[in-house]
Chains A and B, each alone.
Chain A
């Protein structure tokens, strides 16, 4: 990186390409994806399945290394290092899969807090559970005794334990009941306002994008077709494919009579 970064850019993705290889067959998933995400903003990545959305999210979170190109969060490459939680934390689609079903939820949430002493760690765990609207006295219960919406709150609490600069949310509400989707969306809005992290949101639900996102990237076959502010994207999608997406979503719009 030769030129100095504007100070408020948190995430920088430069020319990222990724190719999966299986038994000699190469399948490109991302082709030369570049974008910046300023601090405290929310960027949504939309597209149909197979577009490369989840691959991009995993690369940004450091769960996958790109074949080419670079990702940096505050100038550093995200990587998984034991004992040092990444500045990018992930909220997965299915909270039932994301939590260890044998581990009391308090211990899941406390996992990124190993550097703290015991009493401080317990205190912080309670604080985190409270911040996502759960009763801290239930910290000793296992995920099975919580509902889907509550489990997703626990996943959010665990992600926040590492005080992340960036929350990567992969379809955070699509495995949830309609009646609790709103609760999780409201929670993300609230926490972002109070804690000031950035969000990279991966979803195919444009209504969720409308609620959460400041900017939108449309991805198809691993290529960025459009990058616009959310207002422009919904009012005036420029790419024909984006227009189809918005029109289709408008058509499926809930309780529009």
Chain B
């Protein structure tokens, strides 16, 4: 979180219209991203991670209403205005999807798919696009980028597709790269490689990266900062080292404790978070984590904890920054 943020999402709300009334699915999410910062957006399935990033890219399905503001570079976008984010998508912000193979048109060679975006936005001409693609593919570790341009998507392995997908998102030289679960479709050893690659890109290309993931233990190792999201709200936000060594929110603590490691004793029960995450519309009125929280007390059932900051670290828990934790 540097002095001049490159991306700022301000009070993002997403509401779903149901016959029974409107339901909040993302509530007051704030994100701040400095230059070359890699941020992890972490939460369980259904927590609202993907909705959050799709909301500020205005890529939500119909029926969902968004409010909030997005500042990127020197542009300000009112997210309540339909289509307002259209000209920053694929230009200032590049998006990488979960399934690297499904991202490509199977009938078109890699090259034209890489060029399409920048040509359509008139950012580069044919020759420039080709040169940029070759540069990017080289920096993604391809030894013969010229040959890669002539391949069809079915000739690529999962890891190759993911690296080409990243190159594709980098083509217009964006300020921010958003990657939605970029590693969950990949093999364990490829995951590390791809995550390492994001870190390297942020450093070398000077852009900020948002990594969306459900695996705090894994992604946490590659991020400068982490935002933990639960039931559509930010519950904790801060620098990775601090968050991992001294988590303030009981949910973060539980999330860190529940992945087994090689030090876990054999055949002993693994730590789990009891219960299941609440579904939208059935969120507890005060603290959203209260029903599953081992530390919950009376106040948690009546008063919603605000996201309080303390020296660049923020947590939404009545007990945060307190001796008792």
Interface residues of A (CB under 8 A from B): 48-49, 147-150, 177-183, 185-186, 189, 204-208, 210-213, 230-231, 234, 246, 248-257
A144 to B192 alpha-carbon distance, docked (Å): 32
Given contacts A182-B258, A255-B216, 4 further A-B contacts (CB under 8 A): A147-B276, A148-B45, A213-B266, A253-B261
Which of B187, B245, B261 contacts A204 (CB under 8 A)?
B187
Which of A49, A150, A182, A230 contacts B260 (CB under 8 A)?
A182
**Chain B: CB-nearest residue to A203:** B188
Are B267 and A212 in touch, CB under 8 angstroms? Answer: yes
When distances are taken between beta carbons in the complex, the residues of chain A under 8 Å from B276 are: 147, 149-150
When distances are taken between beta carbons in the complex, the residues of chain A under 8 Å from B262 are: 206-207, 210, 234, 246, 249-250, 253
Is residue B256 contacting chain A, with contact meaning CB distance below 8 A? Answer: yes
Also in contact, A186 and B269, with CB within 8 A (given A178-B214, A178-B255, A206-B262): yes
Interface residues of B (CB under 8 A from A): 44-46, 187-189, 192, 214-218, 220-221, 241, 244-245, 254-264, 266-273, 276
Which of A49, A149, A180, A252 contacts B218 (CB under 8 A)?
A252
Question: Which 3 A-B residue pairings sit nearest by Cβ, starting from the closest?
Answer: A254-B217, A182-B270, A254-B259
- Rounded to whole Å, the gap between the CB of A119 and the closest CB of chain B is 31
A147 to B279 alpha-carbon distance, docked (Å): 10
Q: Which residue of A185, A230, A255, A256 has the most chain B CB atoms within 10 A of its CB atom?
A: A255
Also in contact, A178 and B270, with CB within 8 A (given A48-B189, A210-B262): no
Which of A147, A177, A234, A246 contacts B214 (CB under 8 A)?
A177
Also in contact, A186 and B188, with CB within 8 A (given A178-B258, A206-B262, A253-B261): no
Q: Which residue of B44, B270, B273 has the most chain A CB atoms within 10 A of its CB atom?
A: B270
When distances are taken between beta carbons in the complex, the residues of chain B under 8 Å from A255 are: 216-217, 220, 244, 256-257, 259, 261
A246 to B268 alpha-carbon distance, docked (Å): 20
Which of B192, B256, B271 contacts A182 (CB under 8 A)?
B271
Are A211 and B266 in touch, CB under 8 angstroms? Answer: yes
A203 to B207 alpha-carbon distance, docked (Å): 35
Which of B187, B256, B264, B273 contacts A210 (CB under 8 A)?
B264
A76 to B276 alpha-carbon distance, docked (Å): 42
A148 to B276 alpha-carbon distance, docked (Å): 11
Number of residue pairs spanning A and B whose beta carbons lie under 8 angstroms apart: 107
- Rounded to whole Å, the gap between the CB of B123 and the closest CB of chain A is 37
**Chain A: CB-nearest residue to B247:** A255
Are A177 and B45 in touch, CB under 8 angstroms? Answer: yes
Which of B192, B215, B244, B260 contacts A208 (CB under 8 A)?
B260
When distances are taken between beta carbons in the complex, the residues of chain A under 8 Å from B189 are: 48, 204, 248
| Selected A-B contacts with CB under 8 Å, 21 pairs | A49-B187, A147-B276, A179-B258, A180-B272, A182-B258, A182-B259, A185-B270, A186-B269, A204-B188, A207-B259, A210-B260, A210-B264, A211-B260, A231-B266, A234-B262, A246-B262, A248-B192, A252-B188, A252-B218, A253-B261, A254-B217
When distances are taken between beta carbons in the complex, the residues of chain A under 8 Å from B263 are: 253
- Rounded to whole Å, the gap between the CB of A235 and the closest CB of chain B is 11
Are B44 and A254 in touch, CB under 8 angstroms? Answer: no
Are A186 and B272 in touch, CB under 8 angstroms? Answer: yes
**Chain B: CB-nearest residue to A254:** B217
A185 to B267 alpha-carbon distance, docked (Å): 9
When distances are taken between beta carbons in the complex, the residues of chain B under 8 Å from A179 are: 44, 214, 254-255, 258, 272-273
When distances are taken between beta carbons in the complex, the residues of chain B under 8 Å from A48 are: 187-189
Are A147 and B45 in touch, CB under 8 angstroms? Answer: yes
Are A182 and B261 in touch, CB under 8 angstroms? Answer: no
**Chain B: CB-nearest residue to A234:** B262
Are A178 and B267 in touch, CB under 8 angstroms? Answer: no
A230 to B265 alpha-carbon distance, docked (Å): 11
When distances are taken between beta carbons in the complex, the residues of chain B under 8 Å from A211 are: 260, 264, 266-268, 270
A254 to B214 alpha-carbon distance, docked (Å): 13
A148 to B184 alpha-carbon distance, docked (Å): 15
When distances are taken between beta carbons in the complex, the residues of chain B under 8 Å from A254 are: 215, 217-218, 256, 259-261
